Each structure stands twice: as C-alpha cells, then as structure tokens.
Amino acid sequence: MKKLIVSMLFLPLGLHAQQPFTIRDVLLTMPDSLAPYLSHDNRLDLFDYVDAKMTPEVTNELQGRTRLVSMGTDSLVLKMNDSHELMVYLFETEEEVDSAHQVIALSHSYKLSTGQQDCTLRFFSHRWQAISQPTMLSSSQRARLREAKSTLLRRDEEVLSREPITQR
C-alpha cells in the first residue's frame, strides 16, 4: 500500500517530464554555441517583450540588434542582424528520437549585398544532440525546409558556365 501511495505522489512528476517541447523551450534551451552572440538572457528578454506586447528586439553580444520576426506554434524566425536570419523549426515525428517524438531544425541564412544567400541546415534532438538529416519527417515538413536553400552554388555555376575571358 505504501508503494502505491508513493508511486501516485511521483506520477505527476514523471508525466511532466514527458511533456513535449514548445518552440519557446527550444529557443531557451538552445546551446549558446549555436547562436553565439544571442545570450540566454537575450532570448529570455525576447519572450518577455512578446508577453508584454512590446517589440521583441534586444541588443545582442555584438552590440547589434536582434529581433524576433515571427513565432508560431512550431517555428520562429530571428533576424540576428542585417545579413543573418535564424529559422527554428520544431517537428513532431512518428518515430522516437532521443526518447521524444520531436526533431529540431535550425536554418541559418546569410544574405549578401548581391541578393544571393547561403543557408545551413542542421538537425537536433530535443536534448540538442546533433542528428543526421532525419528520414522520419513528413513530406510537408520537408517542403517547409526546402524554402531555405542556398543560392550561392547556383551563382557559382552561372559564373563558371560563362564564356572564358580572352586576352587581347
């Protein structure tokens, strides 16, 4: 009987630990190394501004301005500075990854003055363990990620396909 009572007391704690992450949880638990000039305190401040219905913008560690551009239930966009944008996605999966049914995708997009952009895409478990590109994402989730792709390689191909410059 004592075991039953003790287990019932700890049952809510066990259930709480299994709650899925929210997009806020993702940004707040993100290691500083993945966005080195946006500190944990900066990320907390962004959400405080959102909750207070103020412009969610902070001074980052490089003394520039970082703004939370948009936030949905499973994604958010941070304008880190004039040329760097960070898109964060939280995808539900059928398969379990690192003891949860969620995968985090980070897309860093770097824009050049020429209009070209370079993007990097990385995937993580909810515990921020790097994973290779997950095969368990649905087609609609993959389609959302295709929007963030690099145009630099295409530009390089255009430059290389031009007529060679001849000397006179």
* Model pLDDT for residues 15-42, shown as the tens digit of each residue: 444 577 899 999 999 999 999 899 999 9
Q: Which residues contact 165 (CB under 8 A, 6 or more apart)?
A: none
Does residue 118 belong to any structural domain of this protein? Answer: yes
Domain span at residue 118 reads: 20-160
pTM tops 0.85: no
* Model pLDDT for residues 116-127, shown as the tens digit of each residue: 888 889 999 999
- Confidence check: pLDDT of 79 > 80: yes
Q: Where are the alpha helices (DSSP H) in 2-151?
A: 2-17, 23-29, 40-51, 139-146
Does residue 10 belong to any structural domain of this protein? Answer: no
- Domain total for the chain? 1
pLDDT for the residue 162: 55
pLDDT for the residue 14: 43
Question: How far apart are alpha carbons 98 and 105 in whole angstroms?
Answer: 15
